[in-house]
Amino acid sequence: ILQNLSQTPVLRELLKEAKMPGTTVKIESPELCMLCCFSFKQETQLIKLDQPGPLTLAMHQFVTEMQETKKGVVTPKELFAQVCKKAIRFKGYQQQDSHELLRYLLDGMRTEE
């Protein structure tokens, strides 16, 4: 899950922007326009970002480390600690489903908005 998220360009860019509080982010997403006979139309959303929370900062740090090719092995220790604070079920290193991690990670970052 973490490797896939670290290779998601939109997420990387948003996390980079999220480090700077007060930044307005412009998100353009293609949306199928039924009136245009299967042509694509861009819908733009402007989002003003507040101070990022600890989970968002840990995710930014992790994604940045994953992008550094000379870093070698990357350990998501801080990110995991922040996830455990939001979702106690991950404490103790018991086996969890990857989709549960994804849900708690993204929900946790969303609640920090």
**DSSP letter string, 3-50:** HHHHT-HHHHHHHHHHTSTT-EEEEEEEEE-GGGTS-EEEEEEEEE--
Residue 30 counted as domain residue = no
Q: pLDDT category, 54, cuts 50, 70, 90?
A: very high
- Distance of alpha carbon 97 from alpha carbon 31, whole angstroms: 31
Is 78 part of a structural domain of the chain?
yes
35 within some domain: no
Rounded distance, CA 39 to CA 27, Å?
A: 19
* Domain count along the chain: 1
Residue 11 lies in a domain: yes
Handedness of CA 102, 107, 110, 112 (dihedral sign): negative
Mean pLDDT, residues 42-63 taken together: 80
Evaluate whether residue 27 is within a structural domain: no
Structural domain includes residue 28: no
Does some domain include residue 107? yes
Label residue 47 by pLDDT band (50, 70, 90). Answer: low
What integer pLDDT is reported at residue 113 of this predicted model? 66
pTM: 0.72
The answer as to whether 95 is a domain residue is yes
Residue span of the structural domain in which 82 resides: 1-22+51-111
pLDDT in tens, 32-46: 444 444 445 556 767
